[in-house]
Structure 1
Amino acid sequence: MTDSTVVHRAVACLEDERADVADRASALETFARQVRDVPTASGPAQAAVAVPATPKAMATAVGSAAATPKPPDDRCATVREAFVDTVEPHTIAADDDSLGKTMAAELSEEIAVSLAAEADWTPALKRAVLEEIETQRRKTVLLEETLQRERRTLEEAIDEIDEIVAWLRTTADESLLQCGFDDLHEKHGCLEAHRDRLETLIDDRQRQFSGETNPRGTADYRGLVAAIYADLSVQYPLLSTATRLYGICGDCQRTVRAHLARRV
């Protein structure tokens, strides 16, 4: 059954998705660390520039300030650059989306506007950015858990499918005309058991898609699965393979039943 290879290829697609999500989680952590390192206007960098305690020190400080113009506050630019270096490569934004649009999708429109407008890098803005990063990080953790659960689902289903396909292959070359009544009856029972297992697998998958069995209210499991396996020849490889195999077992069972009827 060549269709069974589709569900095996689904594992490779899933592993690619898990790797992408892990990279995104790492990027978010790096971005958060870099954001924490950017001092605010009232942060350590400003506190370090204290009023000199002696007249000589004051004269030196004034002279230095006069000789070197104060650079503009580029802390927001630093945060934008950190975003570009860390998170942007792991977003789902379209290739032609602007940086502002991508940041709005990841951090909120208000934060994106503030960072793009060269606003003051205040403690409130820094806190807001870190809170949005944490929100995205929690979503990523939930997605990682969902993908891990999908991996277990695939592995269990593949074990079932491989066992049934192996049984069908061992009996494919047997002539039913050479089988006695007892042998035919046993084959009929085996096929019935295989169909029951496949029916359970299909029902369990449908309940997953409907959200009945998903932990923590995982949203749109069907849409997630369709996106993960978008490059395959079928949209839902596990469901497609199990359904097709169920039909094959049914056809075989009807053939065996016809031979049984001739033995009566």
Structure 2
Amino acid sequence: MRTYIDRARTRVEREREAVAEKRDAYDRFRTRLESTPSQPRSDGIGETLVSSGTSASRPIREAFTETIAPVCEDRPRGELLAAELGEEIACALTTGGPTPALQRAVRAEVDQRRDELVAMDRALDAEADSLERASEALDPIRNWLLEENETALSDCGFEALSERHARLAAFRADCDDLGASRQTHLGKTTGAGGRAGLRHRDLIGYLYDGLPVGHPVLVTGVRMDDLCGECQRAVRDHLVRRV
């Protein structure tokens, strides 16, 4: 039976694959930009992003279409350009040629996007590690409860009941520790050399959208703690009857 954490781990792995694919696409796009000639200005006016002749910027648009567009959602190229490189650059690429200023702006934006993807990749690695630790903490509790549920409390002696009560108390402490650790994790930010950063709390809001719960670790930990609490009360009732 798949748990919320299992589903979260599947979602993280899929997102890691998508981010790796997009990072590779941006690397290829950046390489293509280096070989794209610029259109110098000759009117004596200060540099702007736009010059005359939209056909001159065709190589950049084509490079974008061949590298970035295939790894993005299916949208018109103009919308994708705006979403990935910003409205001003998208407008410049569709209304004029690639001036030196425009090429610098495109490269700077591409470098920023690459940094953001590096930060995203690192944040996903951290999330995967956090989910792994959660599974390591909660899976033994779940397995123990399933195994011990097959033995009726009425068949247990006082010593066995006392051991069960102590074990359940330890499990509940583990759940509390996991919750505190998870909250600390969510409060952190993962960066890429100071150039880009991603808050883990923001990441999971996006990452787990559409799943039955938005906080798979916290919800699973709380429910496991509640279940241990119910079992502990049942054991305590039998202990009181044996006194």
TM-score, length-scaled by structure 1: 0.79
Report if the CA contact (8 A) 2:165-2:235 is conserved: yes
Residues of 1 paired with 2:166 and 2:133: CA distance? 23
**Greater alpha carbon shift after TM alignment, 251-260 vs 33-42:** 33-42
Residues of 2 paired with 1:181 and 1:132: CA distance? 69
SS across alignment from 1:234: coil
Residues of 2 paired with 1:74 and 1:247: CA distance? 66
Residues of 2 paired with 1:32 and 1:105: CA distance? 17
Residues of 2 paired with 1:150 and 1:182: CA distance? 41
Residues of 2 paired with 1:75 and 1:228: CA distance? 39
1:186 to 163, 168, 180: 163
**Greater alpha carbon shift after TM alignment, 246-255 vs 73-82:** 73-82
Q: What pairs up with 1:62-141 in 2 under 5 angstroms?
A: 74-91=55-72, 95=74, 98-117=76-95, 119-141=96-118
Residues of 1 paired with 2:143 and 2:79: CA distance? 52
Which residue does the alignment assign to 2:49? Answer: none
Residues of 1 paired with 2:88 and 2:65: CA distance? 18
Aligned CA distance change for structure 1 residues 235 and 73 (closer, same or farther; 3 Å): closer
Report if the CA contact (8 A) 1:184-1:256 is conserved: yes
Which residue does the alignment assign to 1:10? Answer: 8
SS across alignment from 2:97: coil
Q: Following TM superposition, by how much is the alpha carbon of 1:219 offset from its aligned partner in structure 2, in angstroms?
A: 4.1
1:37 to 35, 38, 46: 35
- Count of residues paired in the alignment: 227
Which residue does the alignment assign to 1:207? Answer: 184
Larger radius of gyration: 1
Aligned CA distance change for structure 1 residues 132 and 218 (closer, same or farther; 3 Å): closer
Which residue does the alignment assign to 1:247? Answer: 226
Q: Which of the pair is proportionally richer in strand? A: 2
Report if the CA contact (8 A) 2:172-2:228 is conserved: yes
Gap regions ≥5 residues in structure 1: 43-71
Counterpart of 1:189, as a letter, is: A
TM-score, length-scaled by structure 2: 0.85
Which residue does the alignment assign to 1:229? Answer: 208
**Greater alpha carbon shift after TM alignment, 137-146 vs 125-134:** 125-134
Which residue does the alignment assign to 1:63? Answer: none
Residues of 1 paired with 2:17 and 2:127: CA distance? 14
Residues of 2 paired with 1:112 and 1:152: CA distance? 38
Residues of 2 paired with 1:149 and 1:238: CA distance? 14
Q: What pairs up with 1:143-162 in 2 under 5 angstroms?
A: 143-162=120-139
Report if the CA contact (8 A) 1:103-1:112 is conserved: yes
Report if the CA contact (8 A) 1:38-1:75 is conserved: no
Residues of 2 paired with 1:82 and 1:13: CA distance? 30
Q: Following TM superposition, by how much is the alpha carbon of 1:215 offset from its aligned partner in structure 2, in angstroms?
A: 4.2
Residues of 2 paired with 1:235 and 1:138: CA distance? 27
**Greater alpha carbon shift after TM alignment, 140-149 vs 169-178:** 169-178
Residues of 1 paired with 2:77 and 2:190: CA distance? 34
